[in-house]
Structure 1
Amino acid sequence: MTFESFMLQDFINQALKENNFTQPTEVQERLIPLIQKGRDVIGQSQTGSGKTHTFLLPLIDQIEIEKNEVQVVITAPSRELAEQIYQVAKQLVAFAPSEIRIAKFVGGTDKQKQLEQLQHQQPQLAIGTPGRILDMVNERALLIHKSKAFVVDEADMTLDLGFLPEVDQIAGKFSEDIQMLVFSATIPEKLRPFLKKYLTRPVIEEIKPKTLLSETIENWLISTKGKDRKQLIYQLLTLGEPYLAVVFANTKEYVDEITEFLQNQGLKVAKIHGGIASRERKRVMRQIQHLDYQYVVATDLAARGIDIEGISHVINAELPRDLDFFIHRVGRTGRNQLKGTAITLYDPSDERAIDELEKRGIVFEPKEIKNGEVVATYDRNRRKKREKTPDELDPETIGYVKKQKKQVKPGYKKKIKQKIDKNNQEKRKIERRQQQRSAKKQKKNSNL
């Protein structure tokens, strides 16, 4: 299938060719025809699967240029995500025969200026964060009541960040026949009441990835072994020559700490987290996209909300608290069939989380830094796989064996050894008796 199969307007096909998009992704192939038919849709697929074009292509195609009214509203949970959708939409309308008006409404921008602009002209496509869009609607400046479609992008992230009440209020402003499109990486239980309230007989499409991670990604696991994590990160960033490397941490405080450490080592480092003012974040993002920085340190805001081209390395300074974000982080690299390297640092307290990721199908390559280079090392589970408690031991002795592996007092170790030796001695006695009985039986049978 090609994009021509969707019978989109010529200006959209021209924009797609300009951006070298020739073949739709699976989510686009399955959902665009449904959206074109006006169906309510719940699309569940991972980051990087092409969700943004999935809803923008058919909705822009259906915009009536002659109508000076809001026809499509799209909410995104972060300013960066809204900016990303806005930029893609601008690219898609670049060749339109007449102007298609697209407006972006996010916090941190001049609200008064937006109010004045809306008095003169309404956008045909409104994109923004839930709080600012609701603000514009409540001011009776953004008139959305005639809209034909409402898109909630990254719905699970919207829920996590606490913006679902605002989205709920926005949804309540539309007419009953509004087409609702909800896109999300996951569908949490707490999201279901909202979906049930607003969507009419929705088509639910879950696009499961063929592999959890792209085959072009090398997924390394490195034990910190009590070493300083910041020093390890510096080594990993400077061992090779990354095109663009992103280091992920869980808190803005730790992002600040890592950034300061790397800068003190002489690296030019950008940082992105929710504590940085919107205007500053936007400036830093532009600089990253222009390759002014080779190293970026960020919170998970960047994992879901920012699409940076050409990331060659991702380093998890620590595992994400929500393990679902592991895929989002690592998925920043290895895109468009380019090779990428993902590196996760861990210590013994992370064992359970690593086990859980492996159960989900994540495969790690154990690595270590040796003599200034990253080399393969032993599987961290090798001892567990090799050391198995003998089935012959009774439960009491198994307890002693387990205790023996711990550090205990010397006198107690002696008692444990005596107990195990005694058990083995009794086992040998039983075996000798069984052998003697077998020999007697054989002798008796031979005399018959």
Structure 2
Amino acid sequence: MSFNDFNFKPYIQEALEAIGFKNPTPVQQKLMPVVRSGRDLVGESKTGSGKTHTFLLPIFERLDETLEEVQVVITAPSRELATQIYQATRQIAEHAEQEIRVANYVGGTDKQRQLDKLKVSQPHIVIGTPGRIYDLVKSGDLSIHKAKTFVVDEADMTLDMGFLDTVDKIASSLPKQVQILVFSATIPQKLQPFLKKYLNNPVMEKIKTETVIADTIDNWLVSTKGRERNGQILEMAKILQPYLAMIFVNTKERADDLHSFLVTNGLKVAKIHGGILPRERKRIMNQFKNLDYEYIVATDLAARGIDIEGVSHVINDAIPQDLSFFVHRVGRTGRNGLPGTAITLYQPSDDSDIRLLEKQGIKFVPKQIKDGEFQDTYDRDRRLNREKKMVAPDTEIIGLVKKKKKKIKPGYKKKIEWKVAEKRRKERRVEARAKGRAERKAKRQSF
């Protein structure tokens, strides 16, 4: 199936060709007809599945450029995600013969300038973070009471970040007949009251995928083996020589420490976390996209809602504290069918978290760094997946132990104890020799 099959307006088709989109993703094939029908929708699919254009393309198809009013409102939980949607929207709008006004309202931007523009004209499409959009609606400067479509993107993240109440207030300012589209990687139970309150008999679609992580991504697991992580990540960087790499850490303090270390060692590294001002974050992201940096050290603020074309590698400095972020981190690479590599550092205390991720269908390939390259290893599999072998009961030992329990002469009792101990020593020696042979064989195969 190709986008031509949807018979979009000529300028939309022209935009798709300019972007290089030829065939819709499974999510787009399944959900775009629903969006075009005008039905309310709850679409659940993994990150990087093409959700943004799933709602954007039908929105443009239904847009009336001659109306001087807001027709679409799109909320996103982070400035970065809102800006990403805005840029994707602009890519389509610029191909239209008649001007389509698109506005991006996020925190950290010049509010007065936005107010001045609103006094002149209202945008056709409003995109932004819930807080800034609602501020403009509450003040009466932004008029959304005639909007035809309301999109809540990354709804689970919106809930996690505490913005759902603000989204609720925006929704209450919209007309009753508005079409509401909710897109999310997951649909948590706490989201249900909002859905029941505002959505009218919605289509509920969960797009199942065979793999949690895209098939184009090599997902490696590397043990720290007690080594200092800064040096290990530096060694990885020198081996990988990535086109663009994102290094995810769990705290701002760790981001500062790792960034300083890598810069000191001559790498072109940027950093982004919640402690960096919005304008500075925007500047850094633009520089990263323009290849001014090869690496960016980021907290989970950047794990979702940032789509940087050409990220070849993702390195997890540690397992994320919130395991749901693992897929979003790894999903920054291997996008649009391109190959990517994700590498996660772990230590023994992470074993339970890794097993939980594996239960979700995430497959890891154990790797080690040896002789200046990544090599396959079996250490973790042997330690984690080794099961106690079901050994048939040893009738000889059982018999000796039973005899020991009976009332017998002291000298005979000592002989039984010696025989039991001697037999167990022999078994341990046999096991040790078998283990040694297996390890030597594995070492030979690794060369």
Q: TM class, shorter-chain normalised?
A: 0.7 to 0.9
Kindly provide the CA deviation profile for residues 215-263 of structure 1, in whole angstroms up to 9, marking residues without a partner as x.
2222111111110011111110111311111100112221111111111
Corresponding residue for residue 179 of structure 1: 179
Change (3 A) 1:239 1:420: farther
Instruction: Tell me, yes or no, if structure 1 residue 297 matches structure 2 residue 297.
Output: yes
- Measure, in 2, the Cα distance between the counterparts of 1:28 and 1:299: 30
- Measure, in 2, the Cα distance between the counterparts of 1:317 and 1:373: 18
Corresponding residue for residue 400 of structure 1: none
Shift of 1:386: 4.6
Identity %: 58
Kindly provide the CA deviation profile for residues 11-52 of structure 1, in whole angstroms up to 9, marking residues without a partner as x.
111110111111111111111111111100001111111111
Shift of 1:69: 0.6
Corresponding residue for residue 167 of structure 1: 167
Shift of 1:381: 3.2
Kindly provide the CA deviation profile for residues 386-410 of structure 1, in whole angstroms up to 9, marking residues without a partner as x.
551656679xx9xxxxxxxxxxxxx
Corresponding residue for residue 245 of structure 2: 245
- Measure, in 1, the Cα distance between the counterparts of 2:143 and 2:320: 40
TM-score (normalizing by structure 2): 0.87
Kindly provide the CA deviation profile for residues 248-298 of structure 1, in whole angstroms up to 9, marking residues without a partner as x.
011222111111111111112011112211111111111111111001111
Partner SS state of residue 374, structure 1: strand
Corresponding residue for residue 445 of structure 1: none
Partner SS state of residue 380, structure 1: helix
Instruction: Tell me, yes or no, if structure 1 residue 341 matches structure 2 residue 328.
Output: no
Corresponding residue for residue 406 of structure 2: none
Q: Which amino acid letter does the alignment assign opposite residue 28 of structure 1?
A: Q
Corresponding residue for residue 119 of structure 2: 119
Instruction: Tell me, yes or no, if structure 1 residue 70 matches structure 2 residue 67.
Output: no
Alignment of 1:23-422 (within 5 A): 23-383=23-383, 385-386=385-386, 388=388, 421=421
Q: Which amino acid letter does the alignment assign opposite residue 382 of structure 2?
A: R
Corresponding residue for residue 435 of structure 2: none
Deviates more, 1:313-322 or 1:208-217: 208-217
Deviates more, 1:321-330 or 1:161-170: 321-330
Corresponding residue for residue 433 of structure 1: none
Kindly provide the CA deviation profile for residues 68-90 of structure 1, in whole angstroms up to 9, marking residues without a partner as x.
11010000000010100001111
- Measure, in 1, the Cα distance between the counterparts of 2:41 and 2:420: 64
Q: Which amino acid letter does the alignment assign opposite residue 295 of structure 1?
A: Y
RMSD (CA atoms): 2.0
Shift of 1:338: 2.2
Corresponding residue for residue 436 of structure 2: none
- Measure, in 1, the Cα distance between the counterparts of 2:271 and 2:424: 62
Q: Which amino acid letter does the alignment assign opposite residue 44 of structure 1?
A: E
Contact 2:46 2:212 in 1 (8 A): no
- Measure, in 1, the Cα distance between the counterparts of 2:153 and 2:264: 39
Kindly provide the CA deviation profile for residues 159-206 of structure 1, in whole angstroms up to 9, marking residues without a partner as x.
111111100100011111110000000001111111111100000111
Structure 2 residue runs without a partner (length 5+): 398-416, 426-447
Shift of 1:2: 1.7
Shift of 1:339: 2.0
- Measure, in 2, the Cα distance between the counterparts of 1:387 and 1:63: 61
TM-score (normalizing by structure 1): 0.86
- Measure, in 1, the Cα distance between the counterparts of 2:295 and 2:364: 24
Q: Which amino acid letter does the alignment assign opposite residue 187 of structure 1?
A: I
Deviates more, 1:165-174 or 1:27-36: 27-36
- Measure, in 2, the Cα distance between the counterparts of 1:123 and 1:145: 13
Kindly provide the CA deviation profile for residues 340-374 of structure 1, in whole angstroms up to 9, marking residues without a partner as x.
11100000110001111112222211111122222
Corresponding residue for residue 6 of structure 1: 6
Q: Which amino acid letter does the alignment assign opposite residue 43 of structure 2?
A: G
Partner SS state of residue 336, structure 2: helix
Deviates more, 1:141-150 or 1:250-259: 250-259
Corresponding residue for residue 414 of structure 1: none
